[in-house]
Amino acid sequence: MSMLEIVAVVVSFAAIWLTAKRNMLCWPLNLVACALYFKLFLDVRLYADMVLQAVFGIGILYGWVVWARGRRDTGLVDVMALSRFQAWLGLGAGAICAVAIGWYTSHHTDAALPWMDATLSSFSLVAQYWTARRHRESWLLWIAVDIAYVGMFVVKGLMLTAGLYAVMIALAVAGYREWRARQVGYDGR
């Protein structure tokens, strides 16, 4: 456990909590968290997750713009429905990217856990995109990904980060409940 990991955990927790609350301050905090975790993952040779943080940075800027346009007078953002087609398209893209990144990192780098790292990174990108698009289902994907991340971080000895991801599972459950209650056009099914 390093000071870098401690700071990254605290900033990430605050950012995820603000995301669940649909508060715009989540975006700048998420950018800081990405930068901190980029360095941490570089240090422990989780290269797909390191690159994921850079891509998350781009996604965060995108989400910030989308949320700014989707805000109500209260400052909160509307939650939008995810169609079955969008869900299958996103999951398919995540699977294809996981195979491509996993193959590359297993053959061309000294990545510690290339296939797991690639899979979790790919599906995290899908979840991030769905979050930026304000889909409540993003939280369900975050729950699944975060459960697997806990195990990966335990294996890598990043116990504080594993603890953060365990807490993020609970935050994702709360986020899903909050967003489901606020979804535009939600019909209870």
Mean pLDDT across the stretch 42-49? 84
189 found inside a domain: no
What band does 25 get if pLDDT is binned at 50, 70 and 90? very high
Strand partners, 135: 80
pLDDT at 184: 61
101 found inside a domain: yes
187 found inside a domain: no
Which residue is associated with the tokens 């989540």? Answer: 26
Percent of the residues in the chain that have a pLDDT greater than 70, as a whole number: 93
pLDDT tops 50 at residue 188 = no
Q: Which domain holds residue 129?
A: 3-182
Mean pLDDT for all residues in the chain: 89
Summarised one tens digit per residue, pLDDT across range 64-104 is 888 888 766 566 677 888 999 999 999 999 999 999 999 99
Whole-model pTM: value is 0.80
Sequence-distant (6+) residues with CB within 8 A of 154 are 162
Summarised one tens digit per residue, pLDDT across range 127-155 is 999 998 889 999 999 999 999 999 999 99
166 found inside a domain: yes
Long-range contact set of residues 175-178: C-beta below 8 Å, sequence gap at least 24: 175/16, 175/19, 175/20, 175/139, 175/142, 176/136, 176/139, 176/140, 176/143, 178/20, 178/21, 178/22
Number of domains in the chain: 1
Sequence-distant (6+) residues with CB within 8 A of 179 are 20, 22, 79, 134, 136, 139
Measured CA angle at 100 (ends 99, 104), to 5 deg: 115
What band does 11 get if pLDDT is binned at 50, 70 and 90? very high
